[in-house]
Amino acid sequence: MSHLLLTGGRVVTSSGTSDADVLVRGGRIEAIGRLGDLPIAEAERVDVTGRLLLPGGVDVHTHIDSPMMGTTTSDDFETGTRAAACGGTTTLVDFAMQLPGQSLTNALAGHHAKAEGKAVVDYGFHMCVTDLYEGATGEFAEIVQSGVSSFKVFMAYRGSIMLHDGDLFEVLRTSGGLGGQVCVHAESGDVIDRLSADLVAAGRTGPGSHEISRPPSTEIEAVERAIKIARMADSPLYFVHLSTEGAVEAVAEARSKEWAIAGETCTHYLTLDRSLYDAPGFEAAKVVLTPPLRTQEHRDALWRGLRAGTLGVVSSDHCPFCLEEKRRLGSADFRAIPNGGPGVEHRFIVMYAEGVRAGRISLEKFVDLVAGAPARQFGLPSKGAITTGADADIVVLDPEGTTTITAETQNQRMDYTPYEGWTLPGAIESVYSRGELIARDGRYVGVAGRGRFLARTTQ
Ligand code: URP
Ligand code: ZN
Ligand code: ZN
Ligand code: ZN
C-alpha cells in the first residue's frame, strides 16, 4: 500500500499546534511526528514547509439538490461537493428534505440516490421532518439504524414545512429515546407570517422587507420555547443558524444548568451586516436568507458566544439559489423569494481570515469550530482531526498567501457570492480526502463520484 508523507508542516488540532510530519497510509493517518528521516522508500514525499496542516472542514448544515419554496437549490451533489472540496471542506452533513405527503423513508432514499456516485467528499444526512403524518415517528428507529442519527425541524415557514409545538415535542421525544439528536430552526413562524402579511398589505413587497419581517425577537422567542419543549421531552437539542445576542444568552443559560442544548452559527452571521438589505432594486435578494443578517452588536455577541463555548459549531447553511431564480419567483412579493445563500466553498477561508487572522479566535479554536466540534457533535469519529487512525482529510494552507473571492472564479453553481471581491489572508493550496489529493489551488483534481456515505453513530 502506498504511503504519503507530508513533511515540514505545522499540524493544528483542536487542542494544540506542533511542527510535525504526517504519514498517511491506506487513506488514514498512520503516524505524526519527526518522520522525515524514516526510511519509507515507497512514500510519496510532499514538502509542506511553512504551511499549516489543518483537518478537512466538516460542514454539518448544507442543502444540496434540495427542494425548497417551490424550486430546488442550484448545486447538486457534484457541483456542491466539488465546491466544498476546493474550499477545504471534506465532509458534509446535508439535509434530506421530506416533501409534504412523502414518507420519511422515501424522502431519505431519494436523497441517497441524488448523492450516490456524484458526491466527491464524504457525506452524511440529517432527516428533515416537515410533515409528521400518522406513523412517521415509527420510522425513526430504522432511519437512525441506517446511520442518519439526527432529525431537523422547522419552527418557521408556516403553511409549508413548519411543525407546530406538539409535533416538535413528539419528534424530540422519539429521537431522544433512540439516542438521536434534533436540529431546530428556531423562529416564531406564526408571528413572522403576520408581520410579512402586514408589510405586503402596506405595499412593501421588495426584498428588504425580509429582514423587517423577522426581527431578533422572533428568533429569541422560538429559542426559549424550543428549550422548554426539549426539557418536556427530555431530549437534547441543537439550534441551527443562531443569529442574535438574545439567542446566545438563552443557550448560555440553558447550558449553565447543564441541559443538553447546543448551538451553531453560520459564517454570514459573523461577517455580513444587515445594511445589505438597504441595497437598491432587487439586489437585497442575495441576502434573503433565514434568519436575516443582523447588526454589529449581534455579531459581537456571536463571536463572544463562540469564544465562551456557548456556540460550538460554525456551519455554512449553504442553500444556494441564483439571483435570477430569486427574481423569477419573488420579484413581486418578497415572501416568495427562495430563502438561502451560497457558502460551502468559502466558510473555511472566511472563518480563518475573519476569525484567526483578525484576532478574534485562536487557530485551535478555528479548527474546532469548522471541523473538530461538528464531527464530535454529529457522531463522525473518523473526521475533524489530524490524529493517528483518523481519515487523512487534510487541508494545506499557506498563511502567507491570499484568497480573492469572486462569483466568476467560484466552483459553487451560483451567479453571485455575498463575499464578492473580498481579499483575505491565507490560501488553501491543496486538499486531501482519505489521503487522495482532491483539490489544488481552488480547482478540483480528484476523480468523479468518490465520496462515501457516512453512517453516523448516536451519542
Ligand atoms: O435561508 C435559509 N437558511 N435557507 C435554508 C433553509 C433553512 O432555513 O435552513
Ligand atoms: Zn433553517
Ligand atoms: Zn439551512
Ligand atoms: Zn444562474
Ligand 4 centroid from CA 271, angstroms:
24
Least confident of 3-7, 63-67, 217-221, 342-346: 3-7
Taking each continuous run of H as one helix and of E as one strand, the counts in the chain are 14, 21
Summarised one tens digit per residue, pLDDT across range 174-206 is 999 999 999 999 999 999 999 999 999 999 999
**Whether residue 303 is found in the same domain as residue 372:** yes
Ligand 3 centroid from CA 316, angstroms:
8
Task: Pick the last residue of a domain from 322, 353, 377.
Answer: 377
Burial (Cβ within 10 Å: 0-12, 13-18, ≥19) of residue 276: middle
Residue 305 lies in a domain: yes
Summarised one tens digit per residue, pLDDT across range 279-330 is 999 999 999 999 999 999 999 999 999 999 999 999 999 999 999 999 999 9
Summarised one tens digit per residue, pLDDT across range 410-442 is 999 999 999 999 999 999 999 999 999 999 999
pLDDT score recorded for residue 459: 72
Q: Where does the pLDDT of residue 34 fall: very low under 50, low under 70, confident under 90, or very high at 90 and above?
A: confident
Task: Pick the last residue of a domain from 356, 377, 398.
Answer: 377
CB of residue 210 inside a 6 A radius of ligand 1: no
- Tell me what the mean pLDDT of segment 361-387 comes to: 98
Task: Pick the last residue of a domain from 377, 393, 413.
Answer: 377
**Whether residue 177 is found in the same domain as residue 46:** no
CA distances from 262 to 31, 259, 328, 454 (A): 33, 9, 37, 22
Mutation to probe ligand 1, out of 126, 319, 321 (largest number of atoms < 8 A from CB): 319
Buried b (16+ CB within 10 A) or exposed e, 337-350: bbbbbbbbbbbbbb
Rounded to two decimals, the ipTM of the complex is: 0.90
Ligand 1 centroid from CA 48, angstroms:
38
CB of residue 339 inside a 6 A radius of ligand 1: yes
Mutation to probe ligand 1, out of 75, 95, 241 (largest number of atoms < 8 A from CB): 241
Residue 182 lies in a domain: yes
Question: pLDDT at residue 38 above 70?
Answer: no
Domain coverage including residue 200: 56-377
Alpha-carbon gap, residue 385 to 253, rounded angstroms: 29
CB of residue 14 inside a 6 A radius of ligand 1: no
Say how far residue 396 (Cα) sits from the centre of its chain: 21
Residue carrying the nine cell digits 443559560? 253
Residue 454 lies in a domain: no
Q: What is the CATH number of the domain that holds 35?
A: 2.30.40.10
Residue 126 lies in a domain: yes
Ligand 3 centroid from CA 61, angstroms:
6
Ligand 3 centroid from CA 314, angstroms:
12
CB 287 within 8 A of CB 293: yes
C-alpha cell at 290: 433565514
**Whether residue 388 is found in the same domain as residue 363:** no
Counted domains in the chain: 2
Peptide bond just before 100 cis, omega within 30 deg: no
**Whether residue 424 is found in the same domain as residue 297:** no
Ligand 3 centroid from CA 24, angstroms:
34
**Whether residue 97 is found in the same domain as residue 32:** no
Q: Where does the pLDDT of residue 41 fall: very low under 50, low under 70, confident under 90, or very high at 90 and above?
A: low
Residue 46 lies in a domain: yes
**Whether residue 35 is found in the same domain as residue 166:** no
**Whether residue 423 is found in the same domain as residue 348:** no
Residues in the chain: 459
Residue 431 lies in a domain: yes
**Whether residue 202 is found in the same domain as residue 329:** yes
Residue 286 lies in a domain: yes
Q: At 448, is the secondary structure helix, strand, or coil?
A: coil
CB of residue 290 inside a 6 A radius of ligand 1: yes
Q: Where does the pLDDT of residue 42 fall: very low under 50, low under 70, confident under 90, or very high at 90 and above?
A: confident
Amino acid at 74: S
Residue 428 lies in a domain: yes
Amino acid at 10: R
pLDDT score recorded for residue 194: 98
pLDDT score recorded for residue 100: 87
**Whether residue 73 is found in the same domain as residue 14:** no
pLDDT score recorded for residue 1: 57
CB of residue 340 inside a 6 A radius of ligand 1: yes
Q: What is the CATH number of the domain that holds 136?
A: 3.20.20.140
* DSSP secondary structure of 245-287: HHHHHHHHHHHHTT--EEEEEEHHHHH--GGGGG-STTGGGGG
Alpha-carbon gap, residue 205 to 450, rounded angstroms: 44
CB of residue 63 inside a 6 A radius of ligand 1: yes
pLDDT score recorded for residue 205: 98
Ligand nearest to the CA of 285: 1
**Whether residue 304 is found in the same domain as residue 407:** no
Q: What is the CA radius of gyration of the chain?
A: 21
CB of residue 317 inside a 6 A radius of ligand 1: yes
Ligand 2 centroid from CA 410, angstroms:
24
Least confident of 43-47, 198-202, 368-372, 382-386: 43-47
pLDDT score recorded for residue 370: 98
**Whether residue 88 is found in the same domain as residue 38:** no
**Whether residue 346 is found in the same domain as residue 250:** yes
Task: Tell which residue, 454, 443, 431, has the closest CA to residue 88.
Answer: 431
> Which ligand 1 atom sits closest to the C-alpha of 156?
8
